[in-house]
Amino acid sequence: MAEDVKNVTEVYVEMNLDKALDDIPDICRCPQCRADIKALVLNQMKPKYVSTIKGEVLSKVHAFDTGKQVEFICCVQNAVEKVKGRPQHD
């Protein structure tokens, strides 16, 4: 039976977004702002699709080395600045 295709970048962002936001003061964490930040980050980062559990594990190990982690943090900071400047909630 074929497994679902997963975007490992999305899994990584979901797992690490709250930790990254902990390092940024005065950011709204309401569901709308969090979703907007996540969407902006994912639009900036290259997707990494896998179709097997083994592929997912290997991709997590290899794809998110120090360089990718730095890229992720920069993308989060850029997204936060955009969302802070134009929040989509009342």
Please indicate, yes or no, if residue 68 is contained in any of the structural domains: yes
- Residue 1 has a pLDDT of 46
Please indicate, yes or no, if residue 11 is contained in any of the structural domains: yes
Number of domain units in the chain: 1
Please indicate, yes or no, if residue 1 is contained in any of the structural domains: no
- Residue 60 has a pLDDT of 63
Which residues, including other chains, have CB under 8 Å from residue 87's CB and lie 6 or more apart?
Answer: 28, 32, 33, 36
Q: Mapping DSSP to helix (H, G, I), strand (E, B) and coil, where does residue 68 land?
A: helix
Q: What is the domain extent for residue 50?
A: 6-85
Which residues, including other chains, have CB under 8 Å from residue 58's CB and lie 6 or more apart?
Answer: 50
Predicted model pTM? 0.81
Please indicate, yes or no, if residue 90 is contained in any of the structural domains: no
Please indicate, yes or no, if residue 70 is contained in any of the structural domains: yes
C-beta of residue 9 within 8 angstroms of C-beta of residue 62:
no
